Structure 1
Amino acid sequence: MKKIILSAFFLLAIFQFGFAQDDAAELAKKLANPIASLISVPFQNNTDYGIGSLKGSRNTMNIQPVVPISINKNINMITRIVVPVITQYNITAPGEKQAGLGDAVMSAFFSPTNSEKLTWGVGPALLLPVGTNDFLTTKKFGMGPTAVALKQMNGWTVGGLINQIWSVAGNAERPDVSQMFVQPFVNYNWKSGAGIGANMEWTQNWKASTSTLWLNPTISAVTSLGKQKTQFVVGPRLNLAAPEGGKADWGWRAVVIFLFPK
């Protein structure tokens, strides 16, 4: 694990060279803001090991494009969809493997174009039952509210995101969904575009009365691959809480974000 992190620091340092600091700093600032007016296509890969009594493993690739849309001169709508591609071993039974799409979550945040002190956005969140494996889908369509708020100053970004989703249709034989997701986050970015930060991901299943909690420290860098502006993010994942029999020993996160500034 130490070798992975040290290698990541080395690679991210290399990526900083040859990229204008002003551009990198501005892009890093926007990327720390989930509702910035910036088109981006993140590929977030999470790999977790030692899950449950069977010591299983799970790899989740979250494809999560973000597209801002100008409603008028005062309001932007920032749309985001998260589509997980999952492969897991030894989770449901010894030697068993499941792979495919998980259910997607689509959000739309309505946010003021100009917000000086506090950046915020509110809107709907939808649960889309697109999972391709019975173990990877709720088979329920759901909806609910979502909101985000953050403050940026002197290189720091501090904020949080929340949504609550209830199932409203779907397979009657499957349990209803009532689930809350809370994600506080903090980041610091240098003028070079390099950054360090962390977030917590708390998922509360109200129907089953279970909580899942992850802590994700990260380091990041903004660079150009040819003409394509890109951010790289890497760090460990710490599973602080999980439903009985589902806690992971450790994991790691690696993210590549393709940026399309105006």
Structure 2
Amino acid sequence: MRISRKTMTFLAWPMLLSAPLAHAQSSDEMNAANNPLQPSVALNLQDDYTGSYYNTNGADANAFLLRGALPLKLFGLPQLLRATLPVATTPSIQPNGRTTNVGDLNVFDVALFKAGPFEMGVGPQLTAPTAGSDLTGTGKWQGGLAVLAISPQPWGLVGGLVTWQHSFAGSSNRPTQNNLQAQPFFIYNLPRGWYLRSTATWNWDLHAGTHYLPIGIGTGKVWRDSAGTTYNFFAEPQFTVAREGVAVPHFQLFFGLNMQFPIKR
């Protein structure tokens, strides 16, 4: 696996920045910073680097994810709108070689409610074929469903995100899309704003009949500045432990900086 100097700098600077800004974080603050259902205005700068694939000779790839979340209320029902736009770099495999371009925009809007010990989010999702290259997108409009269930605990968070979507329009020359993803979510809080995490996403291509299931273990740091903005930097290596199909990821490094901004009422 090759990690560039720029990547190492991105990994290091939030930790250095946190030193003068960090203060002791309570369990509730830690959970709020990591909860994907937290009703806050959020901006996430995340990167998913694939260091190796099965059945390929040293190929790697990268996806930078620009992600934002916005709480809202429609028809008296609290909701959370989340949008993700990737910038993808494809593996250097012939005949196409390496390409970097914008990918497909994904948006989901989930209604927020409680069910026993779980905070729930359920709603539709839509993927638009916004890719700047055929190699970085599917060329298909896709619709489906997103379901989140998170149970906050005194020690952290446990839960998961499940999404499914199927193509319904787009280029007739591109393959049908029918994809299921499940993201088990586990956070264990540590002292001084640190935490352990395992959040690798399991992927099934139901049309092609392939899948890969990674397991991750990583760490992160939460801190807040004087203006009330919460910062959450993390890094999580992930290894595929079960698979069906060729050219699926073998090793990935998922890292990023999540920011939650105070809401002025």
Does the C-alpha gap of structure 1 residues 140 and 21 become closer, same or farther in structure 2, counting only changes over 3 Å? same
The secondary structure found in structure 2 opposite 1:176 is coil
Q: In structure 2, what is the equivalent of residue 230 of structure 1? A: 231
The 8 Å contact of residues 21 and 225 in structure 2, kept in 1 or not, is answered as no
Q: Please, which moves more after superposition, 9-18 or 144-153?
A: 9-18
Query: 1-side partners of 2:34 and 2:184: how far apart?
Result: 12
Deviation at 1:191, TM superposition (A): 5.5
2:129 match: 129
Residue identity matched to 2:197? G
1:83 equivalent in structure 2: 85
| Aligned-residue offset at 1:212 | 2.3
Aligned match of 1:142: 142
CA distance in 1, matches of 2:13, 2:100: 33
Q: Which residue of 2 aligns with 1:64?
A: 67
Partner Cα separation in structure 1 for residue 96 and residue 138 of structure 2: 23
**In structure 1, what is the Cα distance between the partners aligned to 2:157 and 2:12?**
21
Q: Which residue of 2 aligns with 1:163?
A: 163
Given the two structures, how large is their TM-score scaled by the length of structure 2?
0.85
> Which segments of 5 or more consecutive residues in structure 2 lack a partner in the other structure?
2-6
Whether the 8 Å contact between 1:25 and 1:191 is mirrored in structure 2 is no
Instruction: Please report how far the alpha carbon of residue 252 of structure 1 lies from its aligned counterpart in structure 2 after TM superposition.
Output: 1.7
Unaligned runs of 5+ in 1: none
- Would the aligned equivalents of 1:16 and 1:222 in 2 still touch at CA under 8 Å? no
* In structure 2, distance between residues paired with 1:16 and 1:115: 38
Residue 50 of structure 2 is matched in structure 1 by 48
1:146 Cα deviation after fit: 1.2
Deviations 1:54-93 (A, max 9, x none): 31111110111111113366x31101111111113423x1
In structure 1, the partner of 2:4 is: none
Work out whether residues 16 and 193 of structure 1, in 8 Å CA contact, stay in contact via their aligned partners in 2: no
Alpha-carbon deviation of 1:159? 0.2
Q: 1:71 to 1:210 in 2, by over 3 A?
A: same
CA RMSD for the aligned pairs?
2.9
Instruction: Give 1:257's aligned residue.
Output: 258
Q: TM-score, normalised by structure 1?
A: 0.86
Structure 1 residues 115, 193: CA separation in 2 closer, same or farther (over 3 Å shift)? farther
C-alpha deviation, 1:249, in angstroms: 4.4
Aligned residue number for residue 36 of structure 1: 38
Identity of aligned residues (%): 20
Contact 2:200 2:238 in 1 (8 A): no
**Given the superposition, is the C-alpha separation of residues 15 and 188 from structure 1 closer, same or farther in structure 2, using an over 3 Å criterion?**
same
C-alpha distance in structure 2 between counterparts of 1:50 and 1:25, whole Å = 36
Match of 1:180 in 2: 180
Q: Which residue of 2 aligns with 1:198?
A: 198
2:199 aligns to what SS in structure 1? Answer: strand
Q: Deviations over 1:142-200 (max 9, x none)?
A: 11111111111112211011111011111111121111111111101236322111023
**Contact 1:80–1:108 under 8 Å retained in 2:** yes
CA spacing shift, 1:19–1:184, aligned 2, 3 Å: same
Question: What are the superposed Cα offsets for residues 98-127 of structure 1, whole Å, 9 maximum, x if unpaired?
Answer: 110111211111012x66622101000111
How far apart, CA to CA, are the structure 2 residues paired with 1:253 and 1:97? 20
In the TM superposition, residue 241 of structure 1 has moved relative to its aligned partner by: 4.2
TM-fit CA distance, 1:237: 2.2
Q: 1:76 to 1:16 in 2, by over 3 A?
A: farther
* Residues in 1 aligned to 2:31 and 2:102: alpha-carbon distance in whole angstroms: 31
